[in-house]
């Protein structure tokens, strides 16, 4: 966990590079690089892919945040104690992937329709990049400490514990203590509020504020340097590595999509395959998450599990529907350009 990569402190520049945001940027850049390379191999314009990437980025972040705000409205955003502007704060997480994919795909398809470009071909081009972006996004979740797994069994070899708060990788300028502007890790905060760790057995009394029975954890920025040093040794209970497992799964799906791109028989199948492969992974990850209430045996599913079932159905429907369409979705970029400029076509024959 590394919530803040670089903290410039308060006396130099009030600028911080967050691990979550950095991973989103890296995922976007690598995804665009891959999609541009694939566009050239598919006979399409790489610059169009860049435009689609920027459009998908803006729409995707907006859609993911809107979905998160809707889900957490009652607990995190409504009420007199919450700030309206917190709705727009995505520096420390708070994005739901399905919401982002939905709005991003709608924006991309709309743009392709307006420009009269072959939508199925471009969706096949960008599908692996969506999974690459998700993989980096889950690494961002790991650095931020959110989307953590449920409690692991004793001795589970892949279990991990999150600290009370994480120190910046590089801290410049002055700050109250070694944590800088870092926040309490979501996993540690959840375990304290749920009573899994308690005062004074697991949490020292000086780390809490308020009356016994209604105490809350102090913000890392309010600790003295000595208290902060002691707090570095405090960790959550062992948890399942849900973020890293989903990151590995998304990378594997991206690899499968890249291989299948060479084997596809109809344009649009790569995108449809992504819609079929990812939801089962997400459904399973929701089962081991510790931040969402669910009970599979009682059929109490999370919103993402319901969304996963819908997405699989959509993916299968698209896959079957593609067999009623021509294998190719239209002319390639050079053919389209030749049609628009018949003189140039004659000159090059």
Q: What is the pLDDT of residues 123-164, one digit of tens each?
A: 999 999 999 999 999 999 999 998 899 999 888 999 999 999
- Whole-model pTM over 0.95: no
Average pLDDT, the chain: 86
The yes-or-no verdict on residue 65 having pLDDT over 90 is no
Span 177-216, pLDDT tens digits: 888 888 899 999 999 988 888 888 889 989 998 876 678 8
The confidence score (pLDDT) of residue 63 equals: 85
Whether residue 161 lies inside any domain: the answer is: no
Domain count of the chain? 1
Q: CA 227 to CA 222: how far, in whole Å? A: 9
Whether residue 213 lies inside any domain: the answer is: no
Whether residue 257 lies inside any domain: the answer is: yes
Q: CA 106 to CA 111: how far, in whole Å? A: 9
The confidence score (pLDDT) of residue 316 equals: 97
Whether residue 234 lies inside any domain: the answer is: no
Whether residue 168 lies inside any domain: the answer is: no
User: Confidence band (pLDDT; 50, 70, 90) for 13?
Assistant: low
The confidence score (pLDDT) of residue 264 equals: 92
Whether residue 259 lies inside any domain: the answer is: yes
Range of the domain at 49: 4-150+240-347
Whether residue 230 lies inside any domain: the answer is: no
The confidence score (pLDDT) of residue 348 equals: 38
User: Confidence band (pLDDT; 50, 70, 90) for 280?
Assistant: very high
Q: CA 339 to CA 13: how far, in whole Å? A: 55
Whether residue 296 lies inside any domain: the answer is: yes
Among the listed ranges 31-40, 142-151, 331-340, which one has the minimum average pLDDT value? 331-340
Q: What is the mean pLDDT of residues 225-243?
A: 92
Percentage of the chain exceeding pLDDT 90: 52
| Residues 6 or more apart in contact with residue 306 via CB below 8 angstroms | none
The confidence score (pLDDT) of residue 6 equals: 86
């Amino acid at each position: 966990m590394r919530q803040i990569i670089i903290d410039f402190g308060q006396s130099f520049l009030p600028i911080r590079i967050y691990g979550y945001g950095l991973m989103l940027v890296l995922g976007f850049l690598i995804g665009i690089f891959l999609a541009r390379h694939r566009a050239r191999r598919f006979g399409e314009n790489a610059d169009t892919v860049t435009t689609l990437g920027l459009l998908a980025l803006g729409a995707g972040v907006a859609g993911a945040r809107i979905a998160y705000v809707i889900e957490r409205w009652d607990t995190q955003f409504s009420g007199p104690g919450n700030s309206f502007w917190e709705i727009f704060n995505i520096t420390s997480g708070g994005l739901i992937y399905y919401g982002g994919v939905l709005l991003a795909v709608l924006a991309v398809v709309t743009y392709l329709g307006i420009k009269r470009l072959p939508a199925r071909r471009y969706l096949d081009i960008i599908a692996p990049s969506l999974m690459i972006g998700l993989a980096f996004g889950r690494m961002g979740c790991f650095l931020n400490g959110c989307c953590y797994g449920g409690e692991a069994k004793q001795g589970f070899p892949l279990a991990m514990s999150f600290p009370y708060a994480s120190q910046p990788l590089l801290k410049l300028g002055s700050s109250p203590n070694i944590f800088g502007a870092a926040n309490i890790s979501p996993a540690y905060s959840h375990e304290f509020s749920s009573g899994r760790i308690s005062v004074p057995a697991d949490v020292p009394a000086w780390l809490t504020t308020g009356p016994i029975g209604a105490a809350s954890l102090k913000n890392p920025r309010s600790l003295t340097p000595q208290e902060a040093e002691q707090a570095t040794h405090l960790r959550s209970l062992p948890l399942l590595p849900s973020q890293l497992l989903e990151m590995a799964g998304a990378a594997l799906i991206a690899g499968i999509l890249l291989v299948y791109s060479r084997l596809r028989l109809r344009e649009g199948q790569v995108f449809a395959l992504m819609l079929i492969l990812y939801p089962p992974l997400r459904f399973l990850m929701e089962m081991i998450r510790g931040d969402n209430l669910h009970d599979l045996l009682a059929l109490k599913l999370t919103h993402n599990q319901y969304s996963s079932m819908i997405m699989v159905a959509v993916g299968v429907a698209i896959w079957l529907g593609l067999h009623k369409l021509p294998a190719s979705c239209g002319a390639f970029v050079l053919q389209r350009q030749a049609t628009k400029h018949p003189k140039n076509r004659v000159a090059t024959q």
